[in-house]
Structure 1
Amino acid sequence: MIDSREELTFETVLDAPPEKVWRALTIPEYRDRWLQQPDDVKLHLVAVNANSLLTFSWVERDEESLVTIELHPTKDGGTAFRLTHVPVRIPAAANSNDPGTTMVRAA
């Protein structure tokens, strides 16, 4: 269950074709420079669709979230870029005393 208030979305249009943006996101030395992830963050690839979608598991301080990057070509040869960062939550145990409780999944 994801609370939409916890979802962070960033959208922009880049002046480069999706294939070039894809290289910047998938070659580790380029990705690390571009995304500038903190040293204590662990990234693991979860899903991929060449030149259009990447989903990473982002683990920071034992809290996991999913970072999804979507790329779509624009009419003028650029790339529509959308990054969504969503915390991963799992429902509380069925025997929980608080039915509205969710728990953060530990990595």
Structure 2
Amino acid sequence: MSAPNGYAIKAENSSTSCPGRFPNVGIIKKPASSDTICKVSAIPKNYIITSESSSTSPHRFPNLWRVKVPASRDKMCSISPLPNGYVITGRGSSTSCPGSFPNTAKIRKL
């Protein structure tokens, strides 16, 4: 499942009008400056992943990313794409991010 550029999958659902098995429908929206999106969604351009979490729908855990537009200095999960115009200035660890420690990156805008 994918969303057009500039949009993210906010939820998944099921519909008898669409082919395939659950989930076969993606609910897409333009993400806010800080938002939660489904992990099946591509990370919107120039957003960073700040944590992962779970919801009851869809039933794969953890299944959500917390994303945001980064500030001039910020911290992101290491799995996050580095936004254009930013550099990594340090590493750290967080239980909110996936992967083995160190699993976070401090970033700064050039």
What is the TM-score normalised by the length of structure 2? 0.26
Structure that is richer in strand per residue: 1
- Structure number with greater Rg is 1
Structure with greater contact order relative to length (CA < 8 Å, sep ≥ 6): 1
What is the TM-score normalised by the length of structure 1? 0.27
Structure that is richer in helix per residue: 1
